[in-house]
Amino acid sequence: TPRGALPPKEIGDQVEKGGGKPYRYSQYIEAEDAINVGGGSFYSECGGDYTGTGYFDYEEEGETSYLEWEIDVPRDGQYELTFRYSQKSENLKLKLEVNGAVVDESKGFPVTGGWCKWDTTDLTVSLVTGINTIRAAAKGNFGPNIDRIVVRDFPVPYNGPPRFVSDIIEGYRGVPLKDIVESSIASFAFDWNLLDVPLLTFEKVSGPGWMSILPDGTLSGVPNNLHVGVNEFEVQVTDPSGQKDEAFLRVDVQPLPEGVIDFDANGGVRSFGGSEDGKGTYSIEEFGAALSLHGNVYKAVKLDPPYEVTSLTVIEFDFRSGKKGSLHAIGLDEDDAATKSYYFKLYGARTKSNYIVDFATYDGAAPDTKHYVIPVGQFYTGVKTRLFFVNDHDSKSSNPTASGVFTNVKIYESDGGPPPTSAPTLPPTPPPTQAPTPSPTKDPTPKPTKYPTPPPTPNPTPPPM
């Protein structure tokens, strides 16, 4: 007896937010729901291992044995037909037609291992909105047992919003002032619909101005001394359809290492040496940790309170030069008179004998950075109010070009061990030599407590994101 066509059945969203719907439409149709049947019978054996009320057995050879269904679908398009079937010993076939047109002349149904052992096989067909007729006829030697078919349309991407993995992203801990933040937050966001097409874009909504975020999620920026502590940035991710998600990125900025001279403090950098301070420029870099000199310049920072240099006093710093001048030097002085015997020469063409030349070892290092540890107290002592820097270039032209950069400068008291020497250059140079016997010291009075001996300070780097 003919049966009525089954109405379409929509299914709900089966995936959590951020995912996609597997199907908009899905309909289960039993063999016994066929509107026309020929050359076979329905059975309800197999111990009840079937769906519905039974299954269909093709009992005649050829196309006179068939099932025919009418199916009502909601829209034109590609649909998937899934047959649940069984067959014992040979690869039986069916001829499949949709709306009178052959879609598969000889669809194979492989052996399942028994007439009551079920499996599935699929076929893609085009259906039109409304009623569609599907016919499955035996091809050759009978056909398989058919329990049901399932009709589904293909998954249509559900454009859920992108997501950050957390509302709070602890992006960086312990970023030093002098370090450039250069990483990415791209790995902290995802979109189920864009797993193979990375089209998410990122931006900074709010936060301190020192850091920027490029559309691909790259972070870039250098904090300054005003940003010590936890910096919070509101960040946003957007997918191609305009859907968004937001999170907060936290960056913990460390102060300059203990004891490092801040060139912005105590009135900043000042002229030194009177007329010696000639034509040239200077700049404070790495937000207070570096002093860059160019041309013919003598500069100093005021030590407030004054520093009592003892036999254990040390100056430690990094130095580099891109252009050799007449004299590149550092030292401590009690005024701006530029006492030559206080100069520790590092580099330069000048060969006057009234400089301390024991650390004039930069020639083999240029233009790389070299680390120095100079035992100042083994050469002179006393109260000093100036830490000075010399970048002298006796150029006959009106445009002196010598350059020098002093970074991470520290003044402290050593532990009284063997006299320190200038550290090896990067790349390495031959080992340094012992400092010469110093001249008699003036006053080994302990220094003020404002300048404690700093512990070793590693140069921390931010953890990878």
- Residue 30, Cβ density class (10 Å: 0-12 exposed, 13-18 middle, ≥19 buried): buried
Distance separating alpha carbons of residues 382 and 384, to the nearest angstrom: 6
Sign of the Cα pseudo-torsion (155, 157, 161, 164, in order): positive
Pairing relationship of beta strands 403-413 and 313-323 according to DSSP bridges: antiparallel
Domains, the chain, with CATH or none? 26-153 (2.60.120.260), 163-253 (2.60.40.60), 269-413 (2.60.120)
- Say what the pLDDT of residue 158 is: 58
- Say what the pLDDT of residue 266 is: 64
In tens digits, what is the pLDDT along the chain, a chain of 465 residues?
Answer: 233 333 333 322 222 233 334 456 788 999 999 999 999 999 999 988 899 999 999 998 889 999 999 999 988 888 999 999 999 878 889 999 999 999 999 999 999 999 999 999 999 999 999 999 999 999 887 899 999 999 988 765 556 778 887 788 876 666 665 566 667 887 777 665 554 445 788 999 999 988 899 888 888 887 766 778 889 999 999 888 788 889 898 888 877 666 788 888 767 899 999 988 888 999 998 878 899 999 999 999 998 888 999 999 999 999 999 999 999 999 999 999 889 999 999 999 988 778 999 999 999 888 999 999 999 999 999 999 999 999 999 866 677 899 999 999 999 898 765 444 433 333 333 333 343 344 443 343 333 333 334 444 444 444 444
- Residue 133, Cβ density class (10 Å: 0-12 exposed, 13-18 middle, ≥19 buried): middle
Decide: 438 and 374 in contact? Cβ < 8 Å: no
Both structure tokens of 314 = 């040390």
- Say what the pLDDT of residue 172 is: 66
Both structure tokens of 356 = 């301390």
- Say what the pLDDT of residue 165 is: 78
Find the largest Cα–Cα distance for the chain.
122
What value, to the nearest 5°, has the Cα angle with vertex 389 and ends 391 and 377?
Answer: 135
- Say what the pLDDT of residue 402 is: 93
- Say what the pLDDT of residue 439 is: 40
The CA distances from residue 225 to 176, 287, 408, in Å, are 10, 7, 14
- Say what the pLDDT of residue 397 is: 62
Token pair 């520290």 is at which residue?
410
The reply to whether the predicted model has a pTM over 0.95 is: no
Starting at the edge strand found earlier in the chain, the sheet holding 92-98 runs 36-38, 66-73, 130-139, 92-98, 101-109
